[in-house]
Structure formats: structure tokens, C-alpha cells
Structure 1
């Protein structure tokens, strides 16, 4: 199970210097990936949590991180599909994949905030059918020399779409969401599934089984799929919060993360943005940075084998757990 980390995107600690510093530190310490998330608005009554009050755009943040790193993979968990036209998003993602030398992982989901749907001028109804059409349109844009797509929600007339992504056939597309229909869609159409931070760790194994079963029924190899979990961690060196999963002292969090390997996950990324003492706009930015630096150091993955002397990383190769031919 690979270990990633979340980039600063929420609150006062998410300034340009802090983002660059955390990204470079995570890469130096051997973390596999860095992740952002999307939140367009915060709730007026604060009911969406502190981590939703003040959030940077996820793709702009990843582009900034790409310029400050060279090896670590770059992921977003997740982009809300109804907020985009597929062709516009495909262009943004392709540019990011090219400019990062093929390091991009794309998480997408249906979203849930009626306020965001309203602001984007789309309906919250039929999001499942819309997702199928969106994924099919992305696939056409990324894989066909002459692109033409005619679906119930999206249409692309015959055109050329260039450049293509560095990763072939396209960047890994991972579907977020916990409903059974979403899990089955991930197995049929995508490169894997992303479990949100609200997912009960005890239910992950069952959800992975649903995804794998759907993949097998669709004639796909479930062993090629990736299963990623956002782990919302709260470091409390004094021992408070130790009763909750992924909270408390560093040693306890490390044990909680290690236990997730038995669920079938292929990757976990540690996310302090959802700790109100880190990701809230009211949190002390300097104290938040110190807390996260301690987390980065204490929970760093075991170092892997060193590359051969003088060898350059090949970002063009598809990552492990990646289907060779994905229909999304």
C-alpha cells in the first residue's frame, strides 16, 4: 500500500510558500503522491466544515506543485463532473499531464452540493447518466484521432483534440463516491475508486469487493484497479483524540494507517486539511505548518530502492494497478 500526502489547499496554511515547501518536503521524504480536492463554496451556516470555507482551485494548485517537484505523482480527489464541460476539463487535464511529464491522477465524482450545481447552471437530477456520458466523452477526446461524441448530455462534433496526454491511453481516472451504483460504475468504466474521508474504514473492504465484482462482470481484470483512501488525520501529540480513527499521537496514527492495508487499498493519502487546527481559515498558519511538518516526518513511508546512478525517472510509464485499456 503506497502512502501519499495532501497538499495545502484549505485555510491559512495554504499560501504559495507553504504549498511549495510541503510539496518539496513530501517528495524528498519519499511520499508517492500529493493530492488536492475541490470545494467551490463554503456553507453560510458553516455546516460543510472548516475545510470547505476557503479552498484553492485544485488544478491550479497541482500546476503550481508540478513546477516545484519532479517525481511525486499529482492527484485530485475529486473534481465535480457536473461543474465542467468534458472538452474543457480534458484540455486542462491534458495540459497538466504534459507539463508534469505524465504524473497526473484524476479523481472525479458527481458532487453533492445543490448550491454548486445551481451556480454552474446544471441540474442535480440524473447525475449517474450524466457521469456515464461525461466519462465516455473524456475517453473519446483522449483516445481518438478524429473525435466525435454524441451523448444524452454532451456533444462534440468531428474535431481533432491535440495534444494528447503523456500517459497512454490517458491519465488514470478514479471515481469517487460510496453508493453501490457509483462503485459498480468505477468497476465497469474507470481505473479505480477513491474513498472519501467520510468513509468508515470498516466498510472499505466491502466497497472494494463491489468494485472488483463489477469489473469482473464487465470482462476486466480487477487486479489492475487502484483503490485510494483519503485519510483525514488529526495529530495530537498529547494523546487527545486517540479514540477516533486516524487521530492522536503519531505512533497511533501510523498503526491506524498500517491497518488499512488489510482492506485491499492500494494507496492511502494522509490529509491534515480536515483538521480544524490546520485547514481552518482561523487556524494559526505557523502552528499549522509546524504540525504538518511533524506529520510528514513521523509518517514518512519506508524508503524504496534507490534509482541507478544517473537514471532519470520515466514519467511516461503508466503506474501500477493501471488497466491497459480503460473505457472511461
Structure 2
């Protein structure tokens, strides 16, 4: 079982020096990967609350906000040599699929094949609408956008005629380093997410799940595979971020479930918090080796 870290880099704490040092420390400690969430904007009022906190709000420092995942990963790719970089998750239905395909294959190219493309449909209705899309059809749009990207990553010339995307004789280069394309890791707990993982995914990502809840979600995932007439293979990655308060010693339970990668939440980014949390995660790396 490999160990990574989930870090929501936020200004003003996440300075260039802090991110560079953190990436090198994480790599030096033997971590497998750094994962980062995505929100391009936050709102004072939301239709639906953030599912990762009790009050439904993403905790951000006063006057600060989340850094862009694509730019940050480009910066981290230059500061490291081995760490994998995972989007946890990229909000595909509110992105432009052609730009996203280009950004991700460029990141894969510049990092020498170290990118994992975690995807999801998102929870923030206001954010989706601010990006110019409808909330209600985001699932179907996600499927179409993923098909666009997958074809642009693998075919020399692409024609596409969908509901949201139409173009003829398009070329997109460079192609990703990883073959057949960048690993797509699907996040989410709805039936549609498990179906999407079977259709598009090289893996499934569960966030804030203890081993008991993970077991239940894996049963649903295997049900989706069975519905598609398939069986989950050993090459299909199961990636889990445990609850923040979960004890490090309890994480062995994930290995017993066959989880491939545990992505431990860093929590705060104040220097004293990082200095405390990173050695704890490094100790888990040693135990898992």
C-alpha cells in the first residue's frame, strides 16, 4: 500500500517557497504522491454545503483562497523528480474540455508521466453556473467531456459531434507520456460515479472514508463492474483519503481491504502544523513498506 498526502494549498500561507520545500520534503520522506483539490471560486452563499466540513464551508485563511491546481502542479513538477501528482478532484463539468485536455497532457509531458487525473462532477452549484454551465446536466456533460479528452489524447486527428462539443479534424499534441493516456481516477459515491469509474477509470477515489465505509463503497463499485459484465482487475487502483481525525495506526485496515494508495490529509499549512503532520505521514510510509 502506497502513501501520499492531500494538500489544499491556499494563499497566503502557500508561498512559492513553502510549496517547493513541501514537495521536496514529501519526496524525501518517501511519499508516493501529492493530491490537490480544485475550486476556482468560493461563494458566501451556497445552495449545497461543502460535504467535507461540519458547517458546509471550505475553511480558508482570511483574505486567502485555493491555488489553481494546474499551475501549482506545474510548479511542483519542476521542484520534484519522483512524486506523482493527483487532482483530487478536477471538476470536469465546469471546465473547457479542449483546454483541460491540453493542460493535463502538457503536465504529463513536463512531469515525465507523473500525473493522475482524478475527476468528479462537483458539489458547488454556484461555481458550475459561474463557469457558464447548467447544474442539472453536469453528469452527462462530464461523460461527453471525458470522451473528448480521451480521444484527443490517443488519436492523431479527431472529429467530434456531441451535445456540448463539436469540431472537425482537430489535432492536439503533445500526447501524454503515459499510455494509453493519463490514468483517470473517478471520485464520487453515487451510482453514476461508479458507472463512470467502470467506463472511464483506471481507479476510484474515495474521500474522507474510514475502512468500514470504504468496504461498503467497494461493494457498490464491484456491483457496477458486474452490471457492465466485467470484474474489477488488479490494475484498477483504489485510492482513499481517510478522515482527518483518524489515527495513523488504524490505517492498516485499508490494506486489508486491498486499497492501493492511502492519501492522508495534511490539514493546516502553518509551518508548525506541517512540521508535526508530515513526520507522522512519513512514519506510515515506513510501516507500509
Deviation, structure 1 residue 179: 0.7
The reply to whether residue 288 of structure 1 matches residue 277 of structure 2 is no
Deviation, structure 1 residue 172: 0.2
CA distance in 1, matches of 2:71, 2:243: 22
CA distance in 2, matches of 1:156, 1:48: 39
Q: How many residues align?
A: 277
1:1-328 aligned at under 5 Å gives the runs: 1-7=1-7, 9-10=9-10, 12-44=12-44, 47-51=56-60, 54-197=65-208, 199=209, 201-223=211-233, 224-234=235-245, 246=246, 253-273=247-267, 278-279=268-269, 285-302=270-287
> Structure 1 residues 18-27 or 35-44, which shifts more?
35-44
CA distance in 1, matches of 2:213, 2:60: 24
Give the TM-score normalised by the residue count of structure 1: 0.78
* RMSD (CA atoms): 2.2
Deviation, structure 1 residue 14: 1.8
Q: Structure 1 unaligned segments of length 5 or more: list them.
A: 235-245, 247-252, 280-284, 305-328
Deviation, structure 1 residue 258: 1.3
Q: Structure 2 unaligned segments of length 5 or more: list them.
A: 46-54
Per the alignment, in what secondary structure is the counterpart of residue 299 of structure 1?
helix
CA distance in 1, matches of 2:4, 2:166: 36
Cα separation, partners in 2 of 1:152 and 1:106, compared to 1, 3 Å: same
- Alignment partner, residue 321 of structure 1: none
Give the TM-score normalised by the residue count of structure 2: 0.88
Deviation, structure 1 residue 56: 0.6
Deviation, structure 1 residue 216: 4.4
Instruction: Judge conservation of contact 1:140–1:149 (CA < 8 Å) in 2.
Output: no
Deviation, structure 1 residue 134: 1.3
CA distance in 1, matches of 2:255, 2:13: 30
Cα separation, partners in 2 of 1:269 and 1:177, compared to 1, 3 Å: same
- Give CA deviations for 1:83-115 in whole Å, capped at 9, x if unaligned: 211111000001000000001000011011111
CA distance in 2, matches of 1:169, 1:104: 13
- Give CA deviations for 1:150-175 in whole Å, capped at 9, x if unaligned: 12222232211111000011110011
Deviation, structure 1 residue 189: 2.3
CA distance in 2, matches of 1:151, 1:216: 28
